[in-house]
Amino acid sequence: MLAAYITHADCARHEMGPQHPECPERLGAINDQLLVKGLLDYMLPYDAPLATEEQLGRAHSSLYVQELMAMAPTEGHVQVDPDTSMNPHTLKAALRAAGAAVQATDLVLAGEVPAAFCAVRPPGHHAERAAAMGFCFFNNVAVGIRHALDVHGLERVALIDFDVHHGNGSEDIFRGDSRVLMCSIYEKGLYPFNGENAVGPNMVNVGLPTRSGSDAFRDAVLTHWIPALDAFRPQLIYISAGFDAHREDDMGNLGLVEADYEWVTQQLLAVAKRHGQGRVISCLEGGYVLSPLGRSAAAHVKALIGAD
């Protein structure tokens, strides 16, 4: 009944301009809802450490890591792609966000907590092995997964991605890595406009049409994810937890509600209990309208800590 809550004040210092949807207030909106719903009483708080270059290098090319570090400005903004820019605090925030996934891995595999929620930004699932894009710099969840595999010696890890956008970065990093099963559900026709063709046998991609709604989402989970997960028997499950498929979030149009996030998390926790000692690590990805973001994250965390 406990989970780690890993975040850091540095994660709120990265910002990409006054109108940008991936804004610092996202973390406050989540924290407020966890507090209001009494969920923080069941969580152990941790300050995210900075990821090291060695840890980043397990998911990214070292040249890319060094180039990004060299681009970090001391004032103003540096544009990395049309939607993504760095301010003087971005590099540290990105290192904390990836460091959170590493710390979560260490805590969960040491048996300190069965689950962890990393309330971090910048998000990570669009960041490829050698490219920042789509608000993402380092692929936080991928850095955590490679830490579990390469440092802790796990042999089978699952990555679940329910963000409304396809996790192209995670797919790029884990294509051909048979130690990782990636299962994703995303809305077809949205950024980054790929995912339709699975890049390998370790990828279970389900693209849903616009306005599919709760029933189609749950059906996809039960039909495509759960059998693949049970066959794979993951020792640890990571979640790229984006909440932008919520019907009040204008980034997408899948039409999910809070109850769907609670339900899918319960399904994944049940898989984790069958195969992986109940171990689940969740990292925040998208979710841009503050109220549904906070409520959805709270519903997700409620299930993560096993509360009724």
CB 286 → Zn ion: shortest distance, Å? Answer: 3
Q: How far is CA 241 from CA 65, 71, 72, 92, 176, in A?
A: 24, 28, 27, 21, 23
> Judged by CB under 5 A, does residue 163 bind Zn ion?
yes
# of chain residues touching Zn ion (CB under 5 A): 5
- Kindly indicate which of the ranges 160-168, 203-211, 216-224, 272-280 contains the residues binding Zn ion, using the contact rule CB under 5 A: 160-168
Catalytic residue status for 8: no
Peptide bond into 82 cis (omega under 30): no
* Token duo for residue 43: 């969580």
Q: How far apart are CA 260 and CA 246, in angstroms?
A: 9
Q: Which stretch binds Zn ion (CB under 5 A): 223-231, 265-273, 278-286, 295-303?
A: 278-286
Asked if 286 touches Zn ion (CB under 5 A), the answer is: yes
Q: How buried is residue 33: exposed, middle or buried, by Cβ count under 10 Å (0-12/13-18/19+)?
A: buried
Q: Which of 14, 125, 126, 300 is catalytic?
A: 126
Among 126, 165, 166, 246, binds Zn ion (CB under 5 A): 165
Cα–Cα distance, 129 to 151 (Å, whole number) = 19
Is 169 a residue that touches Zn ion (CB under 5 A)? no
* Least spacing, CB of residue 306 vs Zn ion, in Å: 27
> What minimum distance in Å lies between the beta carbon of 238 and Zn ion?
16
Q: Cite the beta strand spans of the chain per DSSP E.
A: 3-7, 43-47, 78-81, 84-86, 115-118, 157-161, 180-187, 203-208, 236-241, 280-284
- β-bridge pairing 78-81 and 84-86: antiparallel
User: Which CB, 146 or 165, lies closer to Zn ion?
Assistant: 165
CA–CA gap between residue 77 and residue 93 (Å, rounded):
15
Is residue 282 helix, strand or coil?
A: strand
Residue 136 CB, nearest distance to Zn ion (Å)? 10
State the Cα–Cα distance between residues 292 and 274, nearest whole angstrom: 31
Is residue 125 at the binding interface for Zn ion, with CB under 5 A as the rule? no
Contact letters for Zn ion, residues 215-254 (x by CB under 5 A): ---------------------------x-x----------
Which of residues 163 and 258 has its CB atom nearest to Zn ion in the complex? Answer: 163
CB 67 to Zn ion: min, Å: 25
**Residues that are catalytic:** 126
**Which positions touch Zn ion (CB under 5 A)?**
163, 165, 242, 244, 286
